[in-house]
Amino acid sequence: MMEMKVISKRFGKVNPMSIADFIKTDGYTALKKAVKMEKITVIEEVQTSKLRGRGGAGFPTHLKMMGLAKETNIPKYIICNADEGEPGNFKDRTLLENDPFQVIEGMTIVAYATGATLGFVYIRGEYQEAIRIMKNAIEEAKLNNFLGNKILGKNFNFDIQIRSGAGSYVCGEEFALIESIEGKPGRTRVKPPFPTSKGVFSQPTLINNVETFANIPVIINITGKEFAKVGTVSSTGTKLICLSGNTKIKGVFEIPFGVPIRDVINDFGGGVKNDRKIKMVQLGGSCGPIIPEYMLDMIIDYERFEEFESKTGAGAIIVMDDRFDLFDILLKTVHFFEHESCGKCVPCREGHVQLSIILKKFINKEATTKDLDSLESLARVMHQTSLCGLGQTSPTSIISSLRYFRDEFLDRIDHPVNL
């Protein structure tokens, strides 16, 4: 199987610091086309494309655009969420470092269609190279009249600023990210209201992932109808997949939705190192489900993933061979989220501590049937009652493991012998 390079077509072929290289490869043709269209027509093209958010939740992109366009309160803002803190994910960094102008073009088209005048690219603080490249790209875009005032001679003003994250995982959540941009501690807010009505600085705000914005120029260039022909009915277009773990080859690959997970592992990853057997695969990153080898023939698709209470996530596939212990992976995952929790809500703050205590009992083979019930109950309570996505998705690995690897939990329960 070959990659279907659409938003990654320039990777390694152009100088990311050169706007001239970008323009020579059809860069900014979409923006030139968009500013000649009615604003509502731009949004309708995105609607026809059925583009869904590429950051994890899979929310229809046109609904956010329509929501912001309808807001009359000004100014309006756009945020590109590049706070890629999810273990196993690195595709946003790859996009920013290899084709920054594509992301800027997508943001600018969205700004034109919605009436936004200022954008923020919130980049993970550890991504210093991406920050350097994006700052250069913004300056180059301004010098060439693709950003700033009277863009392309139209009555359209839009500028972009860089904001750096401070290493907090929770700032990838939209409201924590907004709080951080405002100079406050990165903690989520109670919602509603949602960002499109009251976001950064209490103004209407649209937030999308890096990969989502990168798809916008493609849609405008080829039309939404053509875009929707790729992929599946519920998941159109292509997806950047971050393949890591025990595969022979690791990296970012662009595939159409609808491809089986097994094909990605074998065709792009070269299979498993030393030809060992696959024990489990985690999808979407540390917040995603852990599935057994026999499920790898399932296709990559939003609707399919929802069957086990998950989204496609940001596109990570983490392969673990038969050397690895399920409970060791689960405990490391819980410890990560315990450390990253902002502590604002009780289910998340206290829940991770208790999950850790119970998992250690299973590791030491001291767990009881009551511990098994408590683990499942607590994971679901956290999933349903936590304030933000961190606490809601962090128990996903446990919930999925209890479903697909239940025998391993039962094997570790201490059954005292009655004398």
CB 200 within 8 A of CB 179: no
Mean pLDDT of all residues in 176-185? 92
**Predicted confidence (pLDDT) at residue 311 exceeds the cutoff of 70:** no
In this prediction, residue 159 carries a pLDDT of: 98
Identify the band that residue 366 occupies on the pLDDT scale cut at 50, 70 and 90: very high
Which is nearest to 79 in space by CA: 8, 161, 189, 146? 161
Structure tokens at 115: 């009436």
In this prediction, residue 417 carries a pLDDT of: 46
Q: Tell me the average pLDDT of the chain.
A: 93
**Predicted confidence (pLDDT) at residue 310 exceeds the cutoff of 70:** no
Q: How far apart, in whole angstroms, are the C-alpha atoms of residue 272 and residue 275? A: 5
At residue 137, φ and ψ (nearest 5 deg) are -65, -40
- 197 three-class SS: coil
At residue 348, φ and ψ (nearest 5 deg) are -80, -50
Helix-strand-coil split of the chain, %, nearest 5: 45, 15, 35
Segment 185-217, tens digit of pLDDT: 888 888 889 999 999 999 999 999 999 999 999
Segment 80-123, tens digit of pLDDT: 999 998 889 999 999 999 999 999 999 999 999 999 999 999 99
In the chain the domains, ranked by start, together with CATH numbers, are 19-227 (3.40.50.11540), 238-321 (3.10.20.600), 326-411 (1.20.1440.230)
Mean pLDDT of all residues in 7-30? 97
Q: In the 8-state DSSP scheme, what is residue 248?
A: S
Mean pLDDT of all residues in 405-415? 89
Segment 253-288, tens digit of pLDDT: 999 999 999 999 999 999 999 989 999 999 988 889
Q: How far apart, in whole angstroms, are the C-alpha atoms of residue 384 and residue 377? A: 11
In this prediction, residue 312 carries a pLDDT of: 55
